[in-house]
Structure 1
Amino acid sequence: MLFFEMGVMLKSTTHFVLIPSYNPGEKVYETVRAARRFWHPVWVVVDGSTDGTAAGLQAMAAEDDGLRAIVLAKNQGKGAAVLHGMTLAAEAGYTHALTMDSDGQHPAELIPDFMAASLSQPAAMVLGVPVFDADAPALRVQGRRVSNAWANLETLWSGIGDSLYGFRVYPVAPLRHIMRYQPWMRHFDFDPEAVVRLCWYGVKPVNLPAPVRYFRPEDGGVSHFKYLRDNLLLSWMHFRLFLEFILRLPVLLIKRVAGK
């Protein structure tokens, strides 16, 4: 539910913005301020950062009742940070979380559009489909096509526009239920596994285009992506999912024929 005053959104009691953050540098403050311009509330889960941003975010939250900063003592991984935030939010009555990265790559100005899509179809997940600019690393752009192909195969082409882009709205209850029984879903590979398992669970994807920016180090960009390590992690994840897909295939086919 949303509250408005003279056409301006004041506060949502169901949908919140969730920003997992690990050593993002100064960009995080710009990201959070941008998110707050377009939504209330915004929660940041500081995942064991050692760059001093935890204190800065806590200071911002102390002066803004629409911002909450949750600090984890140790780095646990993106999936674990998202789960921690969703668990606390569910206890507070929130039903949907828009996740976005803390490094400024995601378009805060599209938060209202994604939330509106979720509000119109609350049983669905709203997935951002990245629109890359000229500065996007070619290896990243080409490599995601492999993950997308696997994700669509594993879901029998259920309509996943992009499996990796972290700017998306999740229905909290089904994702928490899935993660309760999947201890693997705690790290960098959380995003693609989440969309595959949510499709298996019966959550339909809604796809919306969204630009993505890659900042160079001289522009304040911070990347924790390690090409070999993280691609091996994604390969292991899809290997696990494919084995489970084979076991699920008869049920998935029956649901597809039944139109579910």
Structure 2
Amino acid sequence: MSTVLVITPTYNERDNLPGIVRRIRAAVPAAHVLVVDDNSPDGTGLIADRLAAELDGVHVLHRERKEGLGAAYLAGFRWGLARGFDLLVEIDADGSHPPERLPALLHAAEHADVVVGSRWAPGGRVANWPRKRELLSRLANRYVRLALGLPVADATGGFRVYRAAALKKILLGGVESRGYCFQVDLTLRAVRAGLTVAEVPITFVDRTAGASKMSVGVLFEALWRVTVWALVTERGGIGAS
């Protein structure tokens, strides 16, 4: 049976973390959970430590400072790969990614190298999002697909499962992305490496507690980087096979 590590980065998520950890454990009782906390000033790290003391299979990786989502996930990947986990999962701590869909994603990983919990694949949807934000996300993903030639409907989605061998191949040579475009970067590398990427529809639910780290400025900065990547890949650069 494959061993599973669910990685959830945190920064000021004290109100959301206990609930998401318990939902993950309820959905996949055998899974281990790694909380990667970027020294949250609201005490999220202390709450994570209490959960780890209370629940078997819950671990905490404390980082000194906030360096972006990508840096937190890369630290979690290194932790999990060093301990021999077969499947490594990305999931947000704010509850927007439904842990109840984890069994479906893990099932799909039996036949795919990377599985994306997709908002925009057939059957996927979002809930409680302002219309403007939904439109921005749809347009951003459409642009990413066209610019980079990716056969993935939700290339920016952050609810994912990676097979360990595939993740090692994706990370070969290093990944520099740290923010919103981190997920696009890994998707591009996976596709260019010839890995199988599958999508499982999910309902993405906007957070009900805490503050979002997303902004229009962050989104457009990411799209600018995608444009640069599109030009570079034509010359055999990032992610090119």
TM tier, smaller: 0.7 to 0.9
Which amino acid in structure 1 is aligned with residue 89 of structure 2? L
- Which residue matches 2:111? 121
State whether structure 2 residue 19 is matched by structure 1 residue 35.
no
The structure 2 residue matched to 1:63, chosen from 38, 54, 61, is 54
- Deviation of 1:146 after TM superposition, in Å, equals 2.9
Distance of 1:134 and 1:16 partners within structure 2: 27
Of 156, 170, 188, which aligns to 2:162? 170
Change in Cα spacing, 1:240 to 1:48, as seen in structure 2 (3 Å) is farther
3-state secondary structure, aligned to 1:202 = coil
1:244 aligns with 2:240: no
Q: What is the CA distance between 1:87 and its match in structure 2? A: 0.6
Question: Which has more helix, going by share of residues?
Answer: 1
Question: CA–CA distance in 2 between the matches of 1:70 and 1:134?
Answer: 31
* TM-superposed deviation, 1:168: 1.2
Residues 44-77 of structure 1: per-residue CA shift (max 9 Å, x gap): 1112211111001101101212111111111111
* TM-score, length basis structure 2: 0.88
Equivalent-residue separation in structure 1 for 2:139 and 2:189 (angstroms) = 18
Contact between 1:23 and 1:51, CA under 8 Å: does it hold in 2? Answer: yes
Matches within 5 A, 1:136-215: 136-157=129-150, 159-179=151-171, 181-215=173-207
Across the aligned residues of Structure 1 and Structure 2, the Cα RMSD in angstroms comes to 2.2
Which one-letter code corresponds to 1:214 in the other structure? D
Which amino acid is the alignment partner of residue 212 of structure 2?
Answer: S
The equivalent of 1:10 in structure 2 is none
Q: C-alpha offsets along residues 98-144 of structure 1, whole Å, 9 cap, x if unaligned?
A: 111000111111111111111x215x211111133452122221112
Tell me, in whole angstroms, the C-alpha distance in 2 between the residues paired with 1:137 and 1:241: 29
Q: What code does the residue aligned with 1:165 have?
A: G
Q: 1:197 to 1:139 in 2, by over 3 A?
A: farther
Distance 2:184 2:236 in 1: 18
Whether the aligned pair in 2 keeps the contact of 1:128 and 1:210 (CA below 8 Å) is yes
> Number of residues paired by the alignment?
234
Match of 1:6 in 2: none
Which consecutive unaligned segments of at least 5 residues does structure 1 have?
3-12, 256-260
The verdict on how the C-alpha distance between 1:54 and 1:208 changes in structure 2, with shifts beyond 3 A counting, is same
The residue matched to 2:115 in structure 1 has which SS? strand
Letter in 2 for 1:61: A
Q: Contact 2:127/2:203 (CA < 8 Å) preserved in 1?
A: no
* Equivalent residue for 2:43, pick from 47, 52, 57: 52
| Amino-acid identity (%) | 27
Post-superposition offset of 1:18: 1.0
Q: Does 1:81 align with 2:108?
A: no
Quick one: distance in 2 between partners of 1:151 and 1:171? 24
Q: In structure 2, how many angstroms separate the alpha carbons of the residues matched to 1:25 and 1:222?
A: 11
- The alpha-carbon distance between structure 1 residues 240 and 126, as it changes in their structure 2 partners (threshold 3 A), is same
Letter of the 1:231 partner, please give it.
L
Aligned equivalent of 1:17 = 6
Q: Distance in 2 between matches of 1:84 and 1:144?
A: 27
Read off the aligned partner of 1:121 and give its amino acid letter.
H
Between 1:127-136 and 1:41-50, the stretch displaced more is 127-136
1:185: how far off?
A: 1.6
